[in-house]
Homo-oligomer: A and B are copies of this chain.
Amino acid sequence: MTSGGDAPGMNACVRSLVRSAGSHKLLIDGIIRGYEGMINGDFEPMSARSVANIIHRGGTILKTARSKEFRTKEGRQQAYEQLKVNHIDAVVAIGGNGTFTGADIFTKEFGIPFIGIPGTIDNDLYGTDYTIGFDTAVNTAIEAIDRIRDTADSHDRLFFIEVMGRDSGYIALYTGIGVGAGNILLPETDTDYDELVNVLKAGVKRKKLFNLIIVAEGNKTGGAIKIAEEVKKRFDHYETKVTIIGHLQRGGAPTAADRLLSSRLGYAAIEGLMNGERNVMVGIINQEIVYTPLKDAITKAKKLNPDLVKMSGILAT
Contacts and interface: CB of A to CB of B under 8 A. Distances in A.
B147 A250 contact: yes
A16 B251 CA distance: 25
A151 B248 CA distance: 8
A177 interface: yes
B248 A148 contact: yes
Interface string A119-139: 000000000010000010011
Given A6-B155, A142-B259, A260-B174, A148 B206 contact: no
A149 B53 contact: yes
B256 A178 contact: yes
Interface in A18-40: 19-20, 22-23
Given A142-B259, A314-B23, A59 B154 contact: yes
Interface stretch (A106-114, A184-192, A239-247): A239-247
Taken together, the copies of this chain in the complex come to 4
Nearest to A146: B56
Interface of A: 2, 5-6, 8, 12, 15-16, 19-20, 22-23, 48-49, 52-53, 55-60, 63-65, 129, 135, 138-140, 142-151, 153-156, 159, 174-175, 177-180, 206-209, 241, 243-253, 255-257, 259-260, 263-264, 267, 286-287, 305, 308, 311, 314-315, 317
B256 A248 contact: no
A317 B245 CA distance: 29
24 contacts: A6-B155, A8-B150, A19-B314, A19-B317, A20-B315, A56-B146, A58-B147, A59-B151, A129-B287, A139-B256, A142-B256, A144-B144, A145-B248, A146-B253, A147-B252, A148-B250, A150-B250, A150-B252, A151-B247, A174-B256, A177-B260, A244-B244, A255-B255, A257-B257
Contacts of A255: 139, 255
Contacts of A8: 150
A311 B264 contact: yes
Contacts of A241: 247
